[in-house]
Amino acid sequence: MPRPREFDEQSVLNAARDQFWATGFAGTSMDSIAAATGLGKGSLYGAFGGKRELFHRVFDDHCTAAIDSANHRLGGDDGQAFARLTAYLLDHATACAEPSHRGCLLAKGTAELSEHDEVVSARARKTFESINQAITADLEACQRNGDIDPAADARRLAGLLLTVHRGIEALGKAGTDGSTLRGITETALAHLPRPSR
C-alpha cells in the first residue's frame, strides 16, 4: 500500500560513502550528499534518519565489506596459504600508494570519530578483530603447510601483521611511495619465523 521508493538504496549509500570518504564526516554536508545522489533532503532524512545515522550505516557496510574481503582473500586450505597472505598484504601496499587511493574509510572514520562516537569505535574494534582472525586462520594453515614455525603463536603474529597492515595505510596516506611500502611488507613477511626443520 505504500508508495515504493524511487531510488536504489545501495547506490545512494555508495554515493554517501564517497562523499564521506573524500571530505570526512564534519566536512561533508547533507546538501552535498543530496546533490550527489539527486535526492531531495526530505527523502534522505526520511530514509536514513540523519547525518550521523547515515554515516553509521555507511561505515558499517564498509566494515562488513572489508571483513568479507579479508575472509575471501585469505580463506581456503589448499597449500597456498602463505602465497595468499603475501598477495593480500602486498596488494594492500600497492593500493595504498596509488594517488587515487583515498585511504581506507575505516581508518579515516576511526581517526575522526572514534574518540567521540562509541558506535564507530566499537565497530572498528570488531572489524580489526575479524580481520585478525582471518589472518590467524591463514597463518595456522601456513603452519600446517610447513611455511611457518608451528611453535609460533599464530594469533600474536597475526596481530603484528594486522598492525603492519594499518601502519602501511597510515604511511600511504602521507604519500610514501609504493616500492617503499611493498618493501616494508616484504620485510615483515621475511621475518616471520620459519620452521626450524
Partner DNA sequence: GCCGTTCTTGACTGCATCGTCCATAAGTCG
Partner DNA sequence: CGACTTATGGACGATGCAGTCAAGAACGGC
Chain residues binding a copy of itself by CB under 8 A are 22-27, 102-103, 107-108, 110-112, 114-116, 121-122, 124-125, 128, 153, 156-157, 159-160, 162-171, 173-176, 180, 183-184, 187-188, 191-193
Binding DNA (rule: CB under 7 A), the pick from 4, 78, 191, 197 is: 4
Contact 154, 139 (CB under 8 A): yes
d(CA 64, CA 29): 24
Binding mask 33-72 for DNA (x = CB under 7 A): -----xxxxxx-xxx--xxx--------------------
The sign of the torsion formed by the CA atoms of 179, 182, 187, 190 equals negative
Q: Which stretch binds DNA (CB under 7 A): 2-10, 92-100, 118-126, 185-193?
A: 2-10
Give least dist CB 168 to a copy of itself, A: 6
Calculate ∠ Cα 57-59-63, nearest 5°. 120
Q: Does 116 interact with DNA (rule: CB under 7 A)?
A: no
Give start and end residues of each alpha helix (H) in 49-80: 51-74
Question: What is the distance between the alpha carbons of residues 16 and 134, in angstroms, rounded to a whole number?
Answer: 28
> Mapping DSSP to helix (H, G, I), strand (E, B) and coil, where does residue 102 land?
coil
**Residue 71 interacting entry, from a copy of itself, DNA, none, C-beta within 5 to 8 Å by type:** none
> What are the cell numbers at 44?
534522505
Residues forming contacts to DNA in the complex (CB under 7 A) are: 1-7, 28-32, 38-43, 45-47, 50-52
